[in-house]
Amino acid sequence: MAIDRNRALRAEKNYRIAAYVTGGMLLLLTLEMILKYGGGVEIEAGGPAGLIALVPVDTVSAINVSTGILIVHGWLYVVYLLACFQLWTAMRWPLFWFPLLAAGGVVPFLSFFTESRVRRIVEESTR
């Protein structure tokens, strides 16, 4: 059964945007985790230490940017999964493709590599 070219290209565009945004947030989240668990500090905004400051864990007295990064990445990952599902159904790929796509939102840098490969596959399939 042939794939719908327009639907596939639209899904790939949505996936590409979601992959870059989620991948970028995942890199921020990775940096935040390294700071928190490796350095023992969290990111605080608007507190007594200044506009943006690194403060010891559990001493944040203003806006906790570290928690904000966690929450934003979590919601963007949901959007990323929806984009993965849209692409997966548009391309009519086998089931094993979906977990491969989904892993791009939880493994640092993977979304950038999968996006590049997926773009080539979709372009070849929709010619």
In single-letter form, the type of residue at position 113 comes to: F
- The pLDDT value given to residue 2: 78
The overall average pLDDT reported for the chain is: 95
Across the range 98-127, mean pLDDT stands at: 94
Give the percent of the chain with pLDDT over 70. 99
Q: How far, in Å, CA of 49 to CA of 59, rounded?
A: 11
**What are 127's two structure tokens?**
């010619």
The confidence band for 1, taking pLDDT boundaries of 50, 70 and 90, is low
pLDDT in tens, 30-77: 999 999 999 999 999 999 999 999 999 999 999 999 999 999 999 999
Distance of CA 52 to the CA centre of its chain: 24
pLDDT of 122 higher than 80: yes
